[in-house]
Structure 1
Amino acid sequence: MIQLLKPDHWKDYELIDCGDFEKLERFGSLILIRPEPQAVWAKKLPDSEWKRLHHIRFKGRSATAGDWVKKDPKAADRWQITYSNPQVAIKFRLGLTSFKHVGIFPEQAVNWDYIAEKVKSFKTPEPKVLNLFAYTGGASLIARAAGADTTHVDSIKQVVTWANENQEISGLSNIRWVVEDALKFVKRELKRGKKYNGIILDPPAYGHGPNGEKWKLEDHIREMMQDVVQLLDPEEHFLILNTYSLGFSSVIVENLITGAFPAVQNLETGELYLQATSGVKLPLGVYGKFFKSK
């Protein structure tokens, strides 16, 4: 199954065009040009239109870092956008980082909608949701706004601080913030006998824990899945696994989930991608998700 995000109801985000290893995106009132390794085709719009439309462009200095070049020196380094669906509304503080990101992955909006729908449909009062590799907290904010008792885990203190700022401007409170290696946290929760109604995983291809722990997706994801499914409440739950790795397919995700959790119900797998206004589609990872209701 292909999952398509057409952000018609998200007025603060638009993928305008992509190609030649770049993407042209609007976040609120600012239009950015950023690198995109998946965009191996030619741009649909002419270069002159990209130059006319954009406010800020990212230029890499190395494989991992670069600088933002502004057409207007007064353009903001930090700004806010809103995301809403029929269930919830949240806000994000965006910013220009040295590693091309701005603090949000827009394709995850389809997963946010799924989270809000499941949390609100559960019969469990204040269901417990765990967000692993949680970054600046989009899924955490959505879960909390929908009424979940939410735990947010990431190994980088600065992004957890950023997520807390997003909580504050969204008018939310009481998300549990944890700065720790995700696999270590899961193993500790298993020893404590903890259970969650919802678990979200969006692991990177490579990463490091706060104490130098190494994460490599293909080396550690099977162990993570085998552990994390044991944290699911047996009566009512959902789980989302999202991967952004050029070597992973939705079949691999399906095999990981069914191998770790043979009793899975309502499994859905596929590919996430954004539809550009210019007509081209940009693939941005594969996913698997499932749920069980009372």
Structure 2
Amino acid sequence: MHIDTLTPQHWEAYELIDSGGFEKLERFGEYITARPEPQAVWDKSLAESDWRKKAHAIFENKNITDEMRDKGNWNILKKMPDKWQMHYRYKDNLLKFKASLTSFKHVGVFPEQAANWDFIMDSTKAISTKTNIKVPKVLNLFAYTGIASLAARSAGAEVTHVDALKQLVTWANENREMSGLKDIRWIVEDAVKFVKREVRRGSIYQGIILDPPAYGRGANGEKWVLEEGINELVKLVAQLLDREQHFLVMNLYSKGLSAIIGANLIHNAFGKKDNLHIGELYLEDSFEKKLPLGVFCRFVSV
């Protein structure tokens, strides 16, 4: 088994400027933010004063409990809008989406995932051009603001987008409109409940994107803990994936889960996959420090 590293290659609107001191300094379009990053255990390359000179906004967190560790406030240092547009271009696909400062330190986009967006677009187009399935069906679970959904839709897929929080699905729909795309199926529901119902229906998808958080709660109080729920979920998802023409992308963000654990989950649910590609996603700052940002597991069969 080979464990690889993977980083985006086609960003124009994003840059990791510096990292260290448990923080990261990033450019999202025209605006620069500083926010916590528990993986950045090394020293910053730039002085603290340089960070403050560059940053439009700095995320400040005074919470110490696990469930509130990402909640805080943005200290706005320079004038900037509440929301702004970003874009991502890959081959003939142009995705447009909204960035916005949230109380949970996020801005609506996980930049390291661009490496997976490329894979989703390439895999979708390969299925539609090399097989008799002209419109692949793609399921995006824990779909957040939906940029992976846009990637699949822009490549010609019929997309079902599932997230438990209505406000995130609304955000994703705004991103669809910005990108000039049509007809994404929006589902506001707990992902596990939706998958169980799809299994009972006998539904089949050619592509599945599985992007669960380390922990979270659904709209009706459903509790999700990655380590507790991921094994059952992967086994359920295996029943939905087309046996012949398919692709799967799974991300694991918990620091306690490794690429090898992801491979074991895949092999247990799908059988031995010789084409399984596993490893760590990372972003490289302008000082060549590599910031790890989760585990990826993916495969494609066309």
Q: TM-score interval w.r.t. the shorter chain?
A: over 0.9
Q: Which amino acid aligns with 1:5?
A: T
Q: Quick check: 1:44–1:280 contact (8 Å CA) kept in 2? A: no
Q: For residue 257 of structure 1, what is the aligned residue in structure 2?
A: 266
CA contact (8 A) 1:28 1:81 kept: yes
Normalised to the residue count of structure 2, the TM-score between the two structures is: 0.94
- Matches of 2:161 and 2:276, distance apart in 1: 24
Moved over 2 A (4+): 1-4
CA distance in 2, matches of 1:255, 1:87: 35
Are 1:82 and 2:94 counterparts?
no
Amino acid at match of 1:19: G
Amino acid at match of 2:296: Y
Which residue is 1:277 aligned to? 286
Shift of 1:44: 1.5
* Unpaired stretches in structure 1, ≥5 consecutive residues: none
Secondary structure at 1:231 match in 2: coil
Query: Which structure 2 residues correspond to residues 54-73 of structure 1 after superposition, within 5 A?
Result: 54-62=55-63, 63-72=69-78
Greater mean deviation of Cα atoms: 210-219 or 107-116: 210-219
Pairing 1:104–2:109 present: yes
What is the distance in 1 between the residues matched to 2:288 and 2:94?
28
1:89: how far off? 1.0
Shift, 1:49, TM fit: 2.0
| 8 A contact 1:152–1:177 mirrored in 2 | yes
The amino acid that maps onto 2:146 is G
CA contact (8 A) 1:133 1:201 kept: yes
- CA displacement, residues 29-81 of structure 1 (integer Å, 9 cap, x when unaligned): 10110111111111112223212211111111322321111222x31111010
**SS in structure 1 of the partner of residue 291 of structure 2:** strand
Consecutive unaligned residues in structure 2, runs of 5 or more: 64-68
Q: Equivalents in 2 of 1:267, 1:49: separation in Å?
A: 42
Q: Secondary structure at the match of 1:32?
A: strand
Instruction: Please state how far the C-alpha of 1:6 moved relative to its aligned partner.
Output: 4.5
Distance 1:18 1:80 in 2: 24
Matched, 1:238 2:251: no
1:142 aligns with 2:151: yes
Residue 236 (structure 2) pairs with residue 227 (structure 1): yes
Q: Distance in 1 between matches of 2:171 and 2:8?
A: 27
Question: For residue 276 of structure 2, what is the aligned residue in structure 1?
Answer: 267
Instruction: Measure how far apart 1:28 and its partner are.
Output: 0.5
Matched with 2:191 is 182
For 1:97 and 1:232, how far apart are their aligned partners in 2? 34
Amino acid at match of 1:2: D
Deviates more, 1:83-92 or 1:144-153: 83-92
Between the aligned partners of 2:161 and 2:285, the Cα distance in structure 1 is: 31
1:285 Cα deviation from its structure 2 partner: 0.2
* Distance apart, 1:263 and its partner CA: 4.6
**Aligned-partner Cα distance in 2 for 1:187–1:36:** 34
- Preserved contact between residue 31 and residue 56 of structure 2 (Cα < 8 Å): yes
Separation (CA, whole Å) in 2 of partners of 1:213 and 1:46: 43
Pair 1:51-2:56 in alignment: no
Partner secondary structure for residue 41 of structure 2: coil
Q: Which residue type is aligned with residue 291 of structure 1?
A: V
Residue 133 of structure 1 deviates from its aligned partner by: 0.4
Deviation at 1:145, TM superposition (A): 0.5
Displacement, 1:156? Answer: 0.7
* Distance in 2 separating the partners of 1:229 and 1:292: 14
TM-score, reference length from structure 1? 0.96
CA RMSD of aligned residues (A): 1.1
| Number of residue pairs the alignment of both structures matches | 291
2: distance between equivalents of 1:66 and 1:29? 23
CA deviations over 1:96-145 (Å, ceiling 9, x no partner): 11111100100000000000000001121110000000000011000000
SS in 1 for 2:199: helix
CA, structure 1 residues 2+263, in 2 after alignment: closer, same or farther (shift >3 Å)? closer
Match of 1:154 in 2: 163
| Matched residue SS, 1:103 | coil
1:120 to 116, 119, 125: 125
Residue identity opposite 2:73 in structure 1: D
Deviates more, 1:61-70 or 1:76-85: 61-70
2:239 aligned counterpart, secondary structure = helix
Classify the secondary structure of the residue corresponding to 1:191: helix
